[in-house]
Amino acid sequence: MIITLKPGTTKKGIEEVVQKIKNLGFTPHLSEGKERTIVGVIGENAILTREIFEPMFVVESITPISKPYKLVSREFKSKSTIIKVKNVKIGDKEIAVIGGPCSIENREILLEIASEIKKAGGKILRGGAFKPRTSPYSFQGLGKKGLKYLAEVGKLTHLPVITEVMDVRQIELVSEYADIIQIGARNMQNFNLLKEVGKTEKPVLLKRGMASTVKELLMSAEYILSEGNSRVILCERGIRTFEDSTRFTLDISAVSQIKILSHLPVFVDPSHGTGRRELILPLSRAAIAAGADGLMVEVHPRPEEALSDGFQSILPLNFQRLMKEIKPVAEAVGRKV
């Protein structure tokens, strides 16, 4: 449930409410606005305790949260969350585009790609150091060496960097080098991993599982927020359907639906969503029109030589074109690139 406190409630009054919530065995989550403070009471059957809080002088109203996910819901926080990563604001008026190779192959290629991303107007550099592959014999990434390359190139180009964590044992290492932690589709319901990244202060980009519903994605995000980390970015990256003309089916409707249900920013990954580079540009335009706060696009100067997912990577020249073509779409929906 949500407890809305009266305007002008003092710090002592807020602390009294918070302490009472803790004494009852529930978890309090504060959201302080300009005029009012609201307190989320998280725990099973929390609404049954409303009669305890209603007589308190500082309490203005109590509202049940109908959704099974609480902290990520618009009911808990009506204003959209904005996440600042260095000089980039995610979820604000400006669209943030992430670009880079699927896998970090070496320092030279990564620097070449990052320079092109920066020149075209991309805001964040991506690159996989640990790669979850379908085949155990496929390239699995450079590990720590790749993380060092990513951090160095990010510093040289003044781009925040994002990379994937696959295991709880990698969190500390990846956090040392990356600005944003990515949880991939295969780990969307790895609840132990979600809880551990929830204990960090790093922003987390959470990808939708390939066979997961929007509700399941939001419930996974709830695991992260429930541990104290509210800096979560959701990412639609395609789901498995009966359609086989693309690698996955990119669910554009999920973007608009999530924006209604949740205050968290939403990105779209058209590279994994289709597996076809010729569809990345039109679906990027569609994603922005649907309300996406950003894109994640795979870019490689020589896709035919890429060690992973070259068939869905676009050339730097086409990334420049993408950045130009999403600009009028963004402006049409009151955003900018």
The residue from 35, 63, 91 where one domain ends is 63
What SS3 state is found at 26?
A: coil
Q: What is the pLDDT of residue 35?
A: 76
pLDDT at 93: 96
Whether residues 49 and 89 fall in one domain: no
Which CATH number does the domain housing residue 48 bear?
3.30.70.1140
Backbone angle region of 238, left / alpha / beta, with phi > 0 → left and psi within -120 to 50 → alpha: left
Residues 185 and 325 in one domain: yes
Please give the pLDDT value at position 105: 92
Whether residue 154 sits in one domain with residue 58? no
3-state secondary structure of 6: coil
- What band does 306 get if pLDDT is binned at 50, 70 and 90? confident
Q: Is 271:309 a contact under the CB 8 Å cutoff?
A: yes
Question: Is the domain of 143 the same as that of 24?
Answer: no
CA atoms within 13 A on the CB side of 243: 13
Residue with tokens 């990577």: 313
Distance of alpha carbon 79 from alpha carbon 246, whole angstroms:
35
Same domain, 39 and 182: no
Mean pLDDT of the chain: 93
Q: Are residues 55 and 167 in the same domain?
A: no
Question: Which amino acid would we find at residue 127?
Answer: G
Rounded to an integer, the average pLDDT of 181-196 is 97
- Confidence band, pLDDT 50/70/90 cuts, at residue 328: very high
- Residue-wise pLDDT for 6-51, tens only, equals 998 999 999 999 999 999 999 998 887 777 888 989 888 888 999 9
The answer on 307 and 182 residing in a single domain is yes
Q: 3-class secondary structure for 185-216?
A: HHHCCCHHHHHHHCCCCCCEEEECCCCCCHHH
**Residue 286's beta-bridge partner residues?**
none
**Is residue 167 one of the residues assigned to a domain?**
yes
Say if CB 135 and CB 159 are below 8 A apart: no
CA–CA separation, 4 and 59 (whole Å): 6
Report the C-alpha gap between 26 and 29 in whole angstroms.
10
pLDDT higher for 314 or 309? 314
pLDDT of residue 133: 60
| pLDDT of 256 over the 90 cut | yes
Tokens of 92: 């604000």
Contacts of 135 (CB under 8 A, 6+ apart): none
Q: State what percent of residues in the chain have pLDDT above 70.
A: 98
**What is the predicted pLDDT for the residue at 45?**
85
- pLDDT of residue 137 exceeding 70, the answer is no
Higher pLDDT, 325 or 307: 325
Residue 139 banded pLDDT, cuts 50, 70, 90: low
Domain that holds residue 327: 83-332
**Up-side HSE of residue 209: CA atoms within 13 Å toward CB?**
17
- The pLDDT confidence band at residue 138, using thresholds 50, 70 and 90, is low
Strands 59-63 and 266-268: unpaired
- Tell me what pLDDT residue 232 has: 98
pLDDT in tens, 196-217: 999 999 999 999 999 999 999 9
Cα of 172 vs its chain's centroid, Å: 19
